[in-house]
């Protein structure tokens, strides 16, 4: 042995999704990968990660040194309200299988993905990395939240018992190319991009769900991807790190709707259906920790990212998930 560190072999679960595709672009097109490194992007077609044997077979096949764990059952507020139990059961199984196989196969580092919607419903704002377990999550997405919270528990106990340095990021609402643009199951921006595209095409009204008063911090998938690669290489804490734009960049759903309407040049009526839920009114997150590490990181301006996503959807209508 010459004492040199082996190049990383990174397994990315959920590699076909919104964040996985953005990481693939950063790695393959923005020079995010270093010489000798191997990046493997898998989807549910390669293995059903809710199944332990299939998960083991993937680790046996690829023998990764590092894992970015993105695979999850993911969906809108409205999908959560209908399938809370499935979100809990499937995500619990995937998280336990992937983390446990990583440990068994001696993976050096795992970075998993949490979300700001898993924080306590009754809390003070802004929320920060220390507050994940302080109280019950919002009941609309409690299944997803508890399944995500156990990732943090796994990371802490695995460090305590075996000294493993597994960690997680916590992201606010992500959007971008390759999102799920399904009208009901898609997250707010992707669903509204699809709805606006259709309303313009068909000459109908745009139906927004809820009052539009809800507040969210939206982050572009390419920014998440660049930060994910930094976390994998540089971030050494077990405690997770929030990846978010600043508190001052939190906007109302109504302002987000206006950005989409502007990007498409939609001139028809916009109707707010207040019989539909607003979900959590806000979940304002602090990015102070991220700013301490990366004071100069530049986020893509919201309007630029919305325009790029609307254009991507229109150009890729036939292949987009919808």
Say whether residue 211 binds ligand NAP (CB under 6 A).
no
Interatomic CA distance for residues 292 and 287, integer angstroms: 9
Q: Nearer Cβ to ligand GDP, position 25 or 138?
A: 138
Single out the segment in contact with ligand NAP by CB under 6 A; choices: 27-35, 64-72, 249-257, 266-274.
64-72
Q: Of all residues in this chain, which one has the CB nearest to ligand GDP in the complex?
A: 210
Distance CA 165, CA 88 (A): 25
Short-list 164, 172, 173, 192, CA closest to 262: 192
Strands 9-13 and 38-41: parallel
The answer to whether the beta carbons of residues 33 and 238 sit under 8 Å apart is no
Of 8, 10, 14, 320, which one interacts with ligand NAP (CB under 6 A)?
14
CA angle, 222 then 224 then 227, to 5°: 110
Q: How far apart are CA 80 and CA 2, in angstroms?
A: 52
Residue of minimal Cβ distance to ligand NAP: 17
- The SS3 call for residue 222 is helix
Shortest spacing between CB 61 and ligand GDP, in angstroms: 34
Residue closer to ligand NAP by CB (options 49, 290) is 49
**Does the footprint of ligand NAP cover residue 48 (CB under 6 A)?**
yes
d(C-alpha 87, C-alpha 315), whole Å: 31
Q: Interface with ligand GDP includes 143 (CB under 6 A)?
A: no
Among positions 187, 195, 283, 322, the unique one binding ligand NAP when judged by CB under 6 A: 187
Distance CA 306, CA 193 (A): 9
Residues that bind ligand NAP (CB under 6 A): 14-20, 43-45, 47-50, 70-74, 94, 113, 115, 171, 173-174, 180, 187
Site residues, ligand GDP (CB under 6 A): 76-78, 117, 173, 187-188, 191-192, 195, 208-210, 214, 216, 253, 276-280
């Amino acid at each position: 042995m010459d004492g040199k560190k082996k190049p990383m072999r990174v397994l990315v679960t959920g590699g076909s999704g919104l964040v996985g595709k953005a990481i693939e672009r950063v790695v393959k097109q923005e020079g995010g990968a270093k010489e000798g490194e191997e990046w493997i992007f898998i989807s549910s077609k390669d293995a059903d990660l809710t199944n332990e044997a299939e998960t083991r077979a993937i680790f046996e096949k690829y023998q990764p040194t590092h894992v970015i764990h993105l695979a999850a059952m993911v969906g809108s507020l409205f999908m959560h309200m209908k399938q809370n139990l499935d979100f809990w059961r499937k995500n619990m199984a995937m998280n336990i299988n992937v983390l446990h196989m990583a440990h068994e196969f001696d993976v050096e580092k795992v970075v998993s993905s949490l979300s700001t919607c898993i924080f306590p419903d009754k809390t003070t704002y802004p929320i920060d990395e220390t507050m994940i377990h302080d109280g019950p999550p919002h009941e609309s997405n409690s299944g997803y939240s508890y399944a995500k919270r156990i990732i943090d528990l796994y990371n802490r106990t695995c460090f305590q018992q075996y000294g493993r340095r597994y960690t997680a990021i916590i992201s606010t609402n992500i959007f971008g190319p390759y999102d799920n643009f399904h009208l009901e199951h898609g997250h707010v921006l992707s669903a509204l991009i699809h709805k606006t595209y259709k309303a313009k095409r068909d000459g109908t009204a745009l139906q927004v769900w809820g009052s539009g008063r809800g507040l969210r911090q939206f982050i572009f998938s390419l920014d998440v991807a660049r930060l994910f690669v930094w976390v994998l290489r540089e971030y050494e804490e077990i405690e997770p790190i929030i990846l978010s734009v600043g508190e001052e960049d939190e906007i109302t759903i109504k302002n987000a709707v206006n950005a989409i309407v502007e990007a498409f040049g939609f001139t028809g009526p916009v109707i707010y259906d207040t019989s539909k839920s607003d979900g959590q009114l806000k979940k304002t997150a602090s990015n102070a920790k991220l700013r301490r590490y990366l004071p100069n990181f530049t986020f893509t301006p919201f309007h630029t990212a919305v325009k790029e996503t609307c254009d991507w959807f229109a150009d890729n209508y036939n292949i987009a998930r919808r």
